Each structure stands twice: as C-alpha cells, then as structure tokens.
Amino acid sequence: MKLTGAQIIMECLLEQGVDTVFGYPGGAVLNIYDALYEYQDRIRHIRTAHEQGAAHAADGYARSSGKTGVCIATSGPGATNLVTGIATAYMDSIPVVAITGNVTRDLLGLDSFQEVDITGITMPVTKHNYIVKDIRDLASILREAFQIANSGRKGPVLVDIPKDITAQTCAYEKQPPLPLAECGLPPQERLAQALELLNRAERPFVYCGGGVVLSEASEALSAFVEKLDAPVSCSLMCQGGFDQASPRYMGMLGMHGTKTAALAIQNCDLFIAVGTRFSDRVLCNAGLFARHCPILQIDIDSAEFNKNIEVDLRLRGDAKEILNTLQGMLETKDHRAWMADVASWKQAYPLRQVSPSQDGVTPQEVLETLNRLTGSQAIIATEVGQHQMWAAQFYTYRTPRQFISSGGLGTMGFGLGAAIGAQVANPGKRVVNIAGDGSFHMNCNELSTLAANQIPVIELVFNNTVLGMVRQWQKLFYENRFSQTDLDHTTDFPLLAKAFGVKALVIEKKADIEPVLREALAGGVPVLIDCRIDRDLNVLPMVPAGESVENPILEM
C-alpha cells in the first residue's frame, strides 16, 4: 500500500511496539503531527513544555521500562533543544530514537529559516545518525535506528527527516523488527582464566555498573555472588541492579561511596567489575585503585577495556550470559570470614545524617520514611547534585529500573522529564522525582506537563536555597568563598506549583515528614513537596579529587 512519509513513520513505530512518543510540534514536523492525529488511538503523544523535557522523558521511559524511548522535535532550535537529552542518554547507554524534522531538501545548506545540521551536531553523542534523502529509504532507516539503539552497548540514534520527505508517498510493507546483533561469549581460554582467578580468591569484591541493569543481568548476578560468596557494591547507574536489602550489599563505591566499600577494596584479593566503565567518580585516583589485587572486567564494549584503568583479565560479552556461564562453571565457595568482616564494617560505619539546626529536617529521614511508606517499590528519579547522592544513599532499591538518574553527563534538569517518562511507562507504580532547588529552577516548566496530562508524579524538592554540591566543594577547597552558589531565590515553590495546577505541600519540621508524604502518596495526582532543609547539610562520605577511594572523608 502507498503511504505518506509521515504515515510510514507511524507504521514503523508500531512495528517496533512503540505506544508513546514525547515531543513538541513545529513547522518542519507538521506532516508528522498530522499523522499523529490520525494514529492517536494507537500512539500516545505527550507534549512537554520544552524539547529537552521530551528527550529526558523518552530517556526515563526507556530506563524504567527496558523499551526504546522516542522523542520528536522540529528543525533548528527544536532539534538543538534535544541535544542535551541525547548526550545524557549516550553517556549512560540508553536506547532512544530521536526523530527531527528539517527544511525541505531544496533548502538544505542555504542557511534557511530554522535550518541546522543536526546530524553534524549530534555525531559525537549518538551511536549513529541519519538524514533521510529518499523516501524509499525511510522505513529501512527507521528500522535500522531501532536495531542499532538496542544492539550491543545501547544508545541513542537520531533520524533527521526533511519536510518534503514526510509529504511524499511511497509503497510500504509491514516487517517484523530486525534481529539484534549477537555478542557471543568470550573465548573458552579466557573463561578458564577467569575461573582460575575466582577459585583462587578468598576475599572477592564484586562491583557492578549500569550494564547489569541494561543486560537484564540482576538475577544472574544474584546467583553468581551467592555461589562465589562475595560482597557487592554498585555504581550510581546500578542502584537496584542488586537487592540492597541483601546483607551482601555494601553501598556505593567511589567519591561518595561507603566506608564499608572503601575498607573492602583495601582488603580484597580479587576485584570483579561487571558492566562498568570505571568512571573517574569511581576510581578517584586511578593509580591508587585496587593496586594490590588482580582486576577482572566484564563488559560488552571492548573500548572500555584498559581505557581508564589497566585490568588483568578482560571478558567481552553480555553480562547476563557471562555471569550465567561463570556461575555454571564455579563450585560453591565459603568465604564466611570475609563476609563477617564486611558485616562488621557495615555495623561500625553506618550512613548517618544530622541536621545542623534543632528539629531540622534531614534528607535521610525523608527518604527513609518514603522508602518505608512505599515498601521500597517506588521508582525514584533524580536531578543532579547533593539530593541525587542522598537519593542513592538513603532509599533501598530492591529491583532494577527503580533508580532513574543522569550519571555520565550529570545533567541538572534531567529528573522531572525523566520522571514523566517513567510514570507514563509504569502507570501502576509510584514515581517520585528527587530534586534540588537549583535543578528545579531549570525544569519547573514541566509541572505544566504533569498538570495537563494529570501524570501523578511527586516532585520532592530539597530546598536549601543554595547550589549544594558546588557549595560543598567551595567549603572544602575554596575557603568558604561561595561564589554564585547562594541562590537566595524569592520563588514561592508552592505558589508556583498551584499556578501550574499542581497540588503543593510543605515539609518544614520533622513532624511534617510522614503526614505530608502519606498525603502525597495517597492522592493519585501530581504533587510538589517543598522540603526545607539546612544549607550546611553535606554529602558524606566524600573522597576529594585525586585522593584514594580507600580513604573517604567521613566528617566535615
């Protein structure tokens, strides 16, 4: 049958199982939006307040569901407004397909109104991108885009489509999604070398990154560490990739990792890294990281081997397949003395937060109460800053895809859009976005998206009137010269929320915490909580830049 280019886009999205797209209309995508009107009973469209919010929503949809997120923007500024969201997805290996419109082909390269070379701009932050020059290639390009986004190390793909392509007609035939590229297992001799290291270890340390979540390897990881009898630490991107209620869990490792994890890395005799790229925030000082023991790295991307740190043995492949294979080869281990050491450290060095002000509210109390009231089952999105670390430290993540946060790029303004995407993908779950007041000022316009669509996200703003994380560094390393980090804003957050049509609540003292959270959770409507905390609360532990991850600061 013959369809317009815009209709072919819709049919290709349906082929891929897409039920929701996020975007913002404009001149170059008018034909696409006309087709969305025609297909509105099969494809839901969420119009965000800003294209960056659409990109983050597609990202949050993907992270929380395991499906591919899709966003749409018009040419020029619409397309460039997606770039930060695309880069965020790229840094964290999230499958997103971004569809942009462009000027008609005869106007390309002429500095036409709202023309921009978006494929050139996004080349460094996409797995691949396309500009469609022939309508006969449109369907195959879209199918390839989804295949590439989900094969191997996942990531975003952009498809730029000139407006005249969306208006032309072409024959279309429905096809099943293309098969994903198989990664396969490492050579048998490498698996044998890994087994030898595992058998020899008496104090193994298993460290997991976002690849565990992306490869659906959580169950395989759990079975592997039970057989190995090892403790586990997770990166920021792997929160929930291992059940944090397990006695094996030590907390995070790195700049804001736990003292338990720091002591464990000092004393382990084998470091096993699964699905992690050894970020500088984890290594802190690469020359001092796990220098006394062999390192075994499991990763799907060979470019990550020996990039940030030299490792002793590399296993390239899908984390789930490799863990299942190693677990099948391994005899059950007994490291009870080592596990007893870990348990004693956990007891000796718990995470504990005290407010500098009498009856002041601490994020620990708020998040632990939220965890109790939600039974550890909520999806928690975050912005970037102190609140992000507190959300990772003080909520107990039991399952993968519960924690939605910008790790690699560290994008302030990410969380609210991502929470929208997560809530749309998971209508039966409670979604809470943990924000700081600095990040909230970057995306508060998306409250209008919550209200217009009655998306029941809870926006929990830790309001300390400062840019907390930057201020913390200024306190430690810049002799309290607080340059541009004291916000002292006059924004009335509850009044602003009400202006957008969102219910507003306030936490000012300890006694407010539970009743306010209960009210927010019970409503089934979008809610903003203005949670007022002391500006001198810090994220601890903390490893100063360039120092060893083994020696975190516990007090300041």
Which residues are catalytically annotated?
51, 113-114, 163, 469
- Rounded to the nearest angstrom, the gap between the alpha carbon of residue 377 and the centroid of all alpha carbons in its chain is 17
CA distances to 153, 283, 551, 553 from 277, in Å: 12, 10, 22, 24
Structure tokens at 393: 């430290």
* CA quadruple 250, 252, 257, 262: dihedral sign: positive
d(CA 20, CA 47): 11
Element (H, E) at 392: helix 386-394
Helix or strand holding residue 164 (H, E): helix 163-167
CA dist., res. 18 & res. 16, Å (int): 6
Token duo for residue 486 = 């004291």
3-state secondary structure of 22: strand
SS3 355: coil
Supply angle C-alpha 469, 470, 475, rounded to 5: 95
Structure tokens at 297: 């790295």
Residues whose CB is less than 8 angstroms from the CB of residue 556 and which lie 6 or more positions away in sequence, other chains included:
475, 476, 538, 540, 542
Alpha carbon of residue 116 to chain centroid: 28
Residue (of 442, 458, 460) closest to 450 by Cα position: 458
Dist. CA 39–CA 156, nearest whole Å: 24
